[in-house]
A and B are shown apart, each in its own frame.
Chain A
Amino acid sequence: MDLELILMQLFSGLALGAILVMVALGLTIVFGMLGIVNFAHGALFMVGAYAGLWVAAQTGSFWWALLVAPIAIGVLGMAIERFLIRPLYGRSPDDPLLLTFGLGYVLVESVRITFGTDGIPFSAPEALQGVVDLGVGYFPLYRLFVVGVVALVLLLLWVALEKTRFGLIVRAGARDPLIMKVLGVDVGRLWLLVFGLGVGLTALGGVLAAPMRNVSPEMGTLVLAEAFVVTVIGGMGSLLGAVVAGLLVGIAVSMTALFAPEMATIVMFALMALILLVRPQGLFGRPGAGA
């Protein structure tokens, strides 16, 4: 088989994986720090895409959509944490799980009622249309842009978590909220910000993914399943795990589509089963780690 084709498929896998990284990061941040499995995460990805579509339609600018929609949906996420999830802290872990499961349905149906059930095209800006010569072949410029944006977000996130006082508080709060309380940190406010950040990241994934597919109410369903697979492969709660596993799954799906298209949809599950057999805690998870 043509080496150029394989390399092109590899780049396609990177772009697909980059979107998965954004969604899985949000999922794993919220799980790792708040101990909540957010089943509404896929729906919030979809709402992010619709918010981007709406902002782009109002302003005529993709760039405004890319900036405003994740922030707005992140704020919506903070409201969800404050008014719906916070009253459930300290209760059975099933309660927030059921709540977010139901919330996912409410969000999907709300979007269906507002925007209809048909997929809506969302074009990339003119500056990002076309292809670019990578030396081994031509690659869609927009997909390259997606990989670049995700790399930048990862860099900013790493700096924020590892090099700032806020990051120190978040890391410590994730490991031991009690000690942070007795050292004067309002942990409730911290969780509000963390939940907003997690939701903002998935919304950013939604806006970035929108020009690569039609925006539809169901677009979050498959992404949620994929993000769960990525989170489990990487290790629940591990940020590095989400990044590595996201790219791994993206590339695995893309390469399988090239060699055995009929296997493409199940390869990630096979990969998850294989990794769990060898490392039950996932690639970067800690044994027995949980909320």
Chain B
Amino acid sequence: MKARIHGVGWVTPLGRDPAAVWQAIQAGATPRPGELTNPFTGRTHPIRRVDPASVADVAGRPRLRRSSVISHFAVAAALDALRDAGCDPANERVALVFAATNGGVIYTRRFFEDVSKTGAHAGSPLLFPETVYNAPASHVAAALGMPGISTTLVNDATVGVEAIAAAVELLESDACDHCLVVAAEEADWVICEAYATWRLTGEAPTIETKRESGAIFGEGSAAVLLGADGNGPEIAELHSGTLFRSIAQARTKLVRIVGNFAGDVPLVISSASETRFDEAERDVAPAARRIAPKAALGECFAASTLAQIVCATLAIRDGTSNALIPVVGFHGQVAALALRG
């Protein structure tokens, strides 16, 4: 059985409307980044922010009033993917697979800040529950009325591909009629500082310059609704994350795993974010048209991978025959996915 994508949704720094955002990405939009500041050092990091107004329709829901923005992003994208597919979880068995790399880092940092300043007794009971990786999935399931299987997966950006693999398994085992795959991330200065220690962040890079001067981080979410049959792009190939120890090895492994289906692919939706890891994709379908959504949306880890899949889906809806999605994770894994129209 092959799974098909029936619906897509996303929350991005360019907005939430799939067609408009996809058009802006293709046009090379690079919105002016905002800033996050480390309060201890004063160091600033550029960041591609989501306009809070774009998720205002979900942020006021009772369950989400105290939650962090990662859950707002996740619920909004999930809602849009279901609407796009015309799927009502009240009438179908819809499973949920949520993917994240950094998860609810804002509340985690704020909670530990209190604990570190004042002691282990000082943490806020409102913040702590939102620090668990599956809190956004819980909010999505509650908001959409999904009582069935819900799984949260964590890893570097390749977790987006692994989440699709998990969804395909659920569909194949007839555990659900549809599977909603959602990924979301939020931005915090501590995450920027973390990746800065690996020299992956940039001051103000642009992908167009090809300078590999570092990624601008982003925030947002993306969601795809998968079904076992019907219309929509098909998951033609899927390779879960495989480990690499050097960029050269990543490059070799990526070529090997996409080898079977890279020959005639007209479009590559790249995971490049202007870091040294971009090199790993260099030999993947070099003749194909290449679009790097992170130039516009920022490096959003797991959510970026789902956003790549959304881009490929929209390209296929526009008439592209098939598209390849290579993913290079910052934590030593490469993965790939191919969609066919």
Same complex origin of A and B:
no
